[in-house]
Chain A
Amino acid sequence: MANVKLEKINKVYPNGFRAIESIDLDIVDKEFMVLVGPSGCGKTTTLRMIAGLEEITAGKMFIGDTQVNDIAPKDRDIAMVFQNYALYPHMTVYDNMAFGLKLRKFSKKEIDERVTHAADILGIEPLLSRKPKQLSGGQRQRVALGRAIVRNPKVFLMDEPLSNLDAKLRVEMRAELSKLHHDLDTTFVYVTHDQTEAMTMGTRICIMYDGYIQQVDDPQTIYDSPKNKFVAEFIGSPQMNFMDATLVEENGKVYAKVYDRLLELNEDKANIVKEKNYIGKEVLLGARPEHAVLDDDGIKAKVEVTELLGSETYVYSKAEGNAIVVRIDPDIKVDVDQEISFKFRSEKVHLFDKETELNICK
């Protein structure tokens, strides 16, 4: 069991490409930390640096109390699971799981104990004598996990391990991985570009973009209080709506003026924007689709598409040329080209500085 600590870690490739810019991250013992972000954000590079597969250009990396910058991957007490969970085709499940231990010259007895124990945890004991081609995708992925578990590592590192599975299996495996984390009671570091995986599995999420960490928090905090526009936009599906707004003060109350409609800000937000001198300034107002309420005095928009999902309906509309998505009750019927009007719940909206894109009220 161990925590993983990254202190001012930088990664610059020989061609000068700066993949990671001075990141600090403290992954606590036994936590399920998900590194998430778009392609090229540096999440896999970070994981590979933890594994020791990439040199660290600057900064310090600790696993437990040990600084591991110069420690070889094999001596870091980690185990990795990858997207390409290739298994040795000619070997049985048992031999596949035992292979790494054989390389490390473990005794037969020790290998047998570890493989049996891992198979028990994963519920794949009946499969031990089968070969990979006799397994389903999910079973193969379990064997790949088994190969990691037998190492009994301090830290599990997983790089998009579910991305080769079909959608249904991915959902099942998400739950299984969370259960596995609970059963093994050890540290997981998990890389994905899929925000749903991040939100459903992570005890904390580290959102990365362009080589920088944008925010590290538990999933609910990330969703409710994004630090900046990027995080707000990245997490949530459909994405958060963004609108230009001007902050105005009238009769002691503070409003965000959006599409010529006034949205009164609650007291907390009003105080902050006043304190930070945003009155009279243009900001970006962010609001999630589910925080819209149909209201005749609200923003007028023309319906372009409706998405009926059974329990809810998403309405894709255009207000003064800008796309806005709102969620409505499925019992309410709206048609394409119909005009709707709505307001956003003021306590749920976010205000972002137009230049820095930081959440003003965070």
Chain B
Amino acid sequence: MGLTQIKNIFSKIASSINNDIVLTDLNGVIIDCNRTELNGSIVKIPEFIEGKEIFSEENYDFIFIKQYNFPRYLLGIKDNIQMLNVVSLLFNDKNYKMTEANFYRELVLNNIKKENYDELKKEFKIEDRNYYRLIIAKVENSEIKNAKYIIDNIFIFDKNIILDSESIAIITSKPDVEIENLCNMLFIEFSTDISKNIKLLVGSKVDELYDINSSLKDIYNILKLIEKFNIVKDIYFYEDFLIPLLIGSTRKDLLIQLNDENNKKYDKIFKNKDLIYTAKNFFKNNLNITETSEKIFVHRNTLIYRINKIKEISGFDLKLFEDAMRFYIILLIKDMDEK
């Protein structure tokens, strides 16, 4: 039973009873209710005890609504526990069967216990691979079918699952270069033929399929970061965000203090567009003078002059890995501050 079906049943019930009724996610965020002013707000949810079917908290009594046999939503009714018992029958998903696609889906969402995992893995004859990686394609609700069609044709030997109405998960074991190529292809194909509203996020690698949810968690962290810093890219690779994630997890006041100090110390560099441009490109080109000078089309002597200039002002010799790393982080903090 999908969310749309759940919401349809909910709205029929809501319009036919007088009691306050809410549909929430597992954090208590209201998805739908018969008091429209409450939409989007949060209700206090009870502590769940395994085996118990009805839970009470303040004025509401709650039941779980399951999808594919896993608790996914909460239905709460005020002051009418009998009604809740009756209503709960309407959400019974009797036709549920654990298919291979559902297995992957629940695995990504971390809904499968280890003992069940081992059994299901055998049942679906899933062989181990060297590593696994999750890619999430986020698209508009109306384009999810088109996105799935393209993804199935691009990631043909991978597991592609519709995760929710706006996300498709791809579980792959392909090498990084191939992932990048295929993601590029997907981005272009989708953007030019369907809609440019597509975000592709590539999570971290995991050794065991069972741990694929941690790849999803990393993707959620990237999502937070790109929203926070308004980062716009075609494809978001977890590896590109390692240092930003590290810095992003540092206390804000410390970062501000650090950036203020840097602004004073390296003001001459920060105000010089050429020096910043040169440094960033030098990092991009693996501290290679020849490659950088070719890419940014400056004479290698000019490039060396600029790198020496940075050394003269800051003391950082960008030709040395450690100094380059330090200066890279300084620039990153500065960029974050500006954003």
Contact = CB atoms under 8 A, between A and B. Distances in A.
A51 B192 contact: yes
B338 A16 contact: yes
Interface in B181-207: 181-182, 184-185, 188-189, 191-196
Nearest to A55: B232
A53 interface: yes
B277 interface: yes
A39 B153 CA distance: 33
A88 interface: yes
B49 interface: no
B193 A53 contact: no
Nearest to A81: B188
A41 to B, nearest CB: 8
Nearest to B336: A15
Nearest to A85: B185
Contact of B295 (A39, A52, A72, A82): A39
Interface stretch (A98-106, A270-278, A353-361): A98-106
A108 interface: no
Contacts of A16: 338-339
B150 interface: yes
A84 B281 contact: no
A82 B184 contact: yes
B297 A74 contact: no
Contact of B196 (A73, A82, A88, A103): A73
Which of B146, B153, B192 gathers the greatest number of chain A CB atoms within 10 Å? Answer: B192
B230 A91 contact: no
A89 B182 CA distance: 11
B184 A40 contact: no
B149 A13 contact: no
A15 B194 contact: no
B297 A209 contact: yes
The majority secondary structure among interface residues of chain A is loop
Contacts, number: 77
B220 to A, nearest CB: 20
Contacts of B338: 15-16
B189 A100 contact: yes
B296 interface: yes
Contacts of A91: 153
Nearest to B274: A210
A189 interface: no
B156 interface: yes
Interface string A53-91: 100000000000000000011100011101010101111
A209 B153 CA distance: 39
A73 B230 CA distance: 22
B335 interface: yes
Contacts of A82: 184, 188
B232 A80 contact: no
Nearest to A51: B192
Contact of B335 (A15, A84, A90, A234): A15
A15 B229 CA distance: 8
Interface in B257-299: 277, 281, 294-297
A232 B277 CA distance: 22
B232 to A, nearest CB: 6
B154 interface: yes
A14 B232 contact: yes
Contact of B277 (A40, A74, A234): A40
Contact of B297 (A84, A86, A234): A234
Contacts of B277: 40
B193 A104 contact: yes
Given A84-B185, A86-B182, A88-B154, A73 B191 contact: yes
B230 A74 contact: no
A137 interface: no
B192 A38 contact: no
Contacts of B89: none
Interface of A: 13-16, 37-41, 51-53, 72-74, 78-80, 82, 84, 86, 88-91, 99-100, 103-104, 209, 234
25 contacts: A37-B297, A38-B296, A38-B297, A40-B295, A40-B296, A53-B191, A53-B192, A53-B234, A73-B192, A78-B192, A80-B192, A82-B184, A82-B188, A84-B181, A86-B181, A86-B182, A89-B156, A91-B153, A99-B153, A99-B189, A100-B192, A103-B150, A103-B194, A104-B193, A209-B297
Given A52-B191, A84-B185, 14 more contacts: A14-B231, A15-B230, A15-B339, A38-B294, A41-B297, A53-B192, A72-B196, A73-B191, A74-B195, A79-B192, A82-B184, A89-B156, A99-B153, A103-B194
Complex A-B, nearest 8 residue pairs according to Cβ-Cβ distance, in ascending order = A38-B297, A39-B295, A14-B230, A86-B185, A103-B193, A73-B192, A86-B181, A84-B184
